[in-house]
Amino acid sequence: MNQARHIAIIMDGNGRWAELKGEKRVKGHEAGAKVVKEITEYCTQNEDIQRLTLYAFSTENWKRPRLEVEFLMKLLQNYLEKELPLYLEHNIRFEPIGDIRAFSKTLQKTIKDVQEKTAHCDGLVQSLALNYGAQDEILRAVNKIKNCDSDVTEAMLSNALDCKHDVDLIIRTGGDHRLSNFLLWQAAYAELFFIDTLWPNFTTNDLKLIIKDFKKIERRFGGLK
């Protein structure tokens, strides 16, 4: 039976959720942050799940309206400060992926502080993809190893990536059927689940049912069984 050791989620639909309620898009992001907490806590209770990677802010999200981007930065800052006790209580190690150099010095410091303060935790690993794009990740990895004396191997490139772990299961909420530049290398043999539910409406029961369906899939990884 399959085990969903590494689950990655594209958390789509926050803005649309708010607009459907006649509210500003930022209200959807606030609601989505609460779901992040609920899903993370649920994953700590499932011994099979070792890693949870969440697409929080992409390299393309800078194209959004300035006020929305500024709100997202403040939301991330507040989330990390508020949730640090939760990480420690549940033995969660925080490992961000992406190029955080584009963020303010204050936000960069908060991200690094939470990472350092949870480095000793050996339970669930939660990764937030921050200023992340898979193409950018691969380019940065190539530049790290381009001057090596030997031919580049798959293992060398994998080790140079921000996320060094293959993904078992990718979930995208919000109804769209695409990966949107998320974990393209690591998702080579991931099982993909696309659902219409908007992220603020996503529940632990939704995740439970998806994992149940995932376990039934015959994964052959290019071979025959």
Known catalytic membership, residue 61 = yes
CA dihedral 45, 98, 71, 194 (to 10 degrees): -60
Sorted by where each begins, the domain ranges of the chain are 6-216
Phi and psi angles of residue 43, each rounded to the nearest 5 degrees, phi first? -65, -30
The hierarchical CATH code for the domain 6-216 is: 3.40.1180.10
Is 213 known to be catalytic? no
| Nearest C-alpha neighbor of 30 from the set 48, 43, 11 | 11
Residue 149 has what pLDDT?
80
Residues 119, 96: Cα–Cα separation, whole Å: 12
Q: What residue ranges of the chain have pLDDT lower than 50?
A: none
Q: Give the model's pLDDT for residue 14.
A: 97
pLDDT at 225: 59
- Closest by CA to 28, choosing from 195, 201, 171, 176, is 201
How far apart (Å, rounded) are the C-alpha atoms in residues 22 and 11? 20
- Asked if residue 6 lies in contact with residue 168, where contact means CB atoms within 8 angstroms, the answer is yes
pLDDT at 2: 82
- What was the pLDDT predicted at 6? 98
Name the DSSP letter for residue 184: T
pTM: 0.95
Residue with tokens 């303010």: 104
Q: In what order do the strands lie in the sheet with 191-194?
A: 93-94, 125-132, 51-58, 6-10, 169-172, 191-194
Residues across the chain: 225
Out of 12, 14, 131, 168, pick the active-site residue. Answer: 12
Active-site residue, from 2, 46, 61, 201: 61
Quote helix, strand, coil % in the chain, to nearest 5.
45, 15, 40
Nearest to 182 by CA among 108, 217, 221, 131: 131
Quote the CA–CA distance of 175 and 193 in Å, as a whole number. 10
* Cβ pair 67, 97 in contact under 8 A: no
Dihedral-angle region of residue 120 (phi above 0 means left; psi in -120 to 50 means alpha; beta otherwise)? alpha
Write out pLDDT tens, residues 20-29. 999 999 999 9
